[in-house]
Structure 1
Amino acid sequence: MNSKPVQFDMFDTKTSHPVDVTPVANTRKSVPDNEEALAQQLEETGRFRILRKLTPRPIVRREDSPFERLAVLIDTETTGLSHVTDQIIEVGAVAFTYNDEGAFGNVVGVFSGMQQPTIPIPAEITRLTGITDAMVQGQTLDLRSLEAMIEPADLIIAHNAGFDRPFCEKLSPLFVSKAWACSVAEVQWAGFGFEGSKLGYLVGQSGLFHNGHRATDDCHALLEVLIRPAGADATVPFTELLKSSRKARVRIYAENSPFDMKDHLKKRGYRWSDGNDGRPKAWWVEVDEDNYADELHYLQSEIYRWKDAEPLSIRLTAQDRFKSR
């Protein structure tokens, strides 16, 4: 009687085939004593890329940090996309110190809080964030603690400040006069070798993973991406963000531009404003203040074809940018 064991093909639903499974000597390398050594061993084969779970940095007292400047990363989860009709359900913030050259100091504060909205949380928001009506039941944000963190900040940073700033300004007037920076619009992520500017792309390509779409976790993740050297010249993205936020920009509205010029404007990077948010109904673009004269010349010569044309132009600083209107 043949007592040789057989093994069945789990992927064949029609037939099975006997396979010789005679034990062989274990020739694999011994398993390292710690997880990091094992991860490095896998990476060294060239056949694996390892994602490491993001570990938030420890909090130190601000007076113990070597740098005096203070930035606050902030993220909001909301019931929808409209700052007019939708409401905040979660706020996360991470405060850190830095110097004028853009060097990172220490994490000096963390805020996390939920708030029950006056409407049920839409199913799509729950699917995206994991936040349910039961989780926010009876919850209110500790605004006093949040404002204590925001008040001394030199810079507020959001990953899509055009979305977060209007919600934050409705939450507290302290946000209105602060300088804001946007880590989507003001960092050239492609130049650092990233495939996109979504936080999930940035975190994954940095070799990390985290609990995405939860406010405080996203802040910790964004901090790591911003302060890690990236690209061929190992530049720190936060340094670029800081420099960009300090530059004045000019928003130009190409009002009353000829209809048949819309494709030219769109190709050049202009976006359409339908006027529903109080802004002019027109194609518009933002340019660095140093490039304003060139952009004005383009509009006068290529779009309006009138050398004295003066489209509406608004100078913006970090205190003005990313407001709702």
Structure 2
Amino acid sequence: MTAQFDMFADDAPTVIRRSRSDGRATPVMTEDDMVRHLQETGRYRILMKLQPRPVVQLPDSAFPLRGVIIDTETTGLSSRKDEIIEIGAVAFSFDATGTIGAVTDVYGGLRQPSRPIPADITRLTGITEAMVAGQVIDFDRLEALVTPADLIIAHNAGFDRPFCEALSPIFADKAWACSVSEVDWHARGFEGTKLGYLIGQAGYFHDGHRAVDDCFALLEVLDSNGQDQAGSAFAELYAASQRSRVRIFAENSPFDLKDHLKGRGYRWSDGSDGRPKAWWTEVADADLKDELCWLRSEIYRYEASPPMKRLTAFDRFKG
């Protein structure tokens, strides 16, 4: 007696069939049964291919807010000299508690840059010169999708926002949130923050490094609840976006204490972007007093008053 599992059947449910002595096949397991059986052995981990959510033409009025997930593929890391070669955007509805409703619009577009795409970018993204030749972004479509947004989300908004604002002014006056820095993924049972890892640990796989695919992948991860979590990752992200933060510049800090600042998470600004030339960090309002105490006792060793700037989602993550 032989057994066969048709992993590529288009008709659901997929079954395992065993040949009987009379030559006829008898269904034994559905695909769901097989997945459950493998998982129950404790020796297998099953990943399901992520399917993009359908676009709903008439959103439920119970979800009056609009979010847009943005992803970009670029020719390099600098928004001042590199360019977007692909942008993806997935719009969705949500409510004031951060509960996601439905996908309301999708846009993806390629763009021919002014200079050739570096070979390492093509290897990473799969985007070739032939694919972008003559391609331009449909700004009317993109503006129609972005304009109603109450919040724009990017997985590393500090990277995507400057590129998007260099591309079009429609992004400049929007509230932005970062799904890397404003979600405590560790508390949700994840051991990393890269999108490929998050989607894999959530039980999916997808075609990564293409903009719209990555947007849909991030939507699924944000709509999931972590271990011992009362709400979704998006609910946590939305709540974080409503809170202001304070950027502190440790101006005139002693050079020999730069490793102390670095170890505490401070980053260096060379002053070329209009910020003070100094090590800087961002803290929540509730942590401001403790951070100033640390600076005064461990770095300055006097009652210094370093420059500070209060930030909201409308001006965070700008270049």
TM-score normalised by L of structure 2: 0.89
Of residues 285, 291, 296 in structure 2, which corresponds to 1:295?
291
What does 1:49-60 correspond to in 2, within 5 Å? 49-60=45-56
State the alpha-carbon separation in 2 of the partners of residues 58 and 180 from structure 1: 24
Q: Does 1:109 align with 2:114?
A: no
Partner of 2:93: 97
Q: Alpha-carbon deviation of 1:140?
A: 0.7
Partner of 2:119: 123
Q: Does 1:268 align with 2:264?
A: yes
Aligned residue type for 2:307 = L
| Alpha-carbon contact 1:273-1:284 (below 8 Å) kept | yes
Q: Does 1:35 align with 2:31?
A: yes
- Please list every run of 5 or more consecutive structure 1 residues that lacks an aligned counterpart in the other structure: 1-24
State the alpha-carbon separation in 2 of the partners of residues 226 and 55 from structure 1: 15
| Alpha-carbon contact 1:249-1:316 (below 8 Å) kept | yes
**Cα 1:32/1:266, change in 2 over 3 Å:** farther
**Cα 1:32/1:148, change in 2 over 3 Å:** farther
Q: Does 1:311 align with 2:294?
A: no
Q: 3-state DSSP class of the match of 1:190?
A: coil
Q: 3-state DSSP class of the match of 2:164?
A: helix
- Please list every run of 5 or more consecutive structure 2 residues that lacks an aligned counterpart in the other structure: 1-20
State the alpha-carbon separation in 2 of the partners of residues 33 and 57 from structure 1: 28
Partner of 1:9: none
Q: Does 1:256 align with 2:252?
A: yes
Q: Alpha-carbon deviation of 1:65?
A: 4.9
Q: Alpha-carbon deviation of 1:58?
A: 1.1
Moved beyond 4 Å, runs of 4+: 30-33
The alignment covers a number of residue pairs equal to 295
State the alpha-carbon separation in 2 of the partners of residues 141 and 31 from structure 1: 50
Q: Does 1:240 align with 2:246?
A: no
Between structure 1 and structure 2, the one with the greater Rg is 1
TM-score normalised by L of structure 1: 0.87
Aligned residue type for 1:106 = A
Of residues 147, 151, 163 in structure 2, which corresponds to 1:167?
163
| Alpha-carbon contact 1:251-1:316 (below 8 Å) kept | yes
State the alpha-carbon separation in 2 of the partners of residues 249 and 120 from structure 1: 39
Q: Which moved more, 1:218-227 or 1:255-264?
A: 255-264
Aligned residue type for 1:186 = E
State the alpha-carbon separation in 1 of the partners of residues 279 and 251 from structure 2: 7
Q: Alpha-carbon deviation of 1:32?
A: 4.9
State the alpha-carbon separation in 2 of the partners of residues 79 and 306 from structure 1: 46
Aligned residue type for 1:85 = K
What does 1:275-290 correspond to in 2, within 5 Å? 275-290=271-286
State the alpha-carbon separation in 2 of the partners of residues 201 and 287 from structure 1: 27
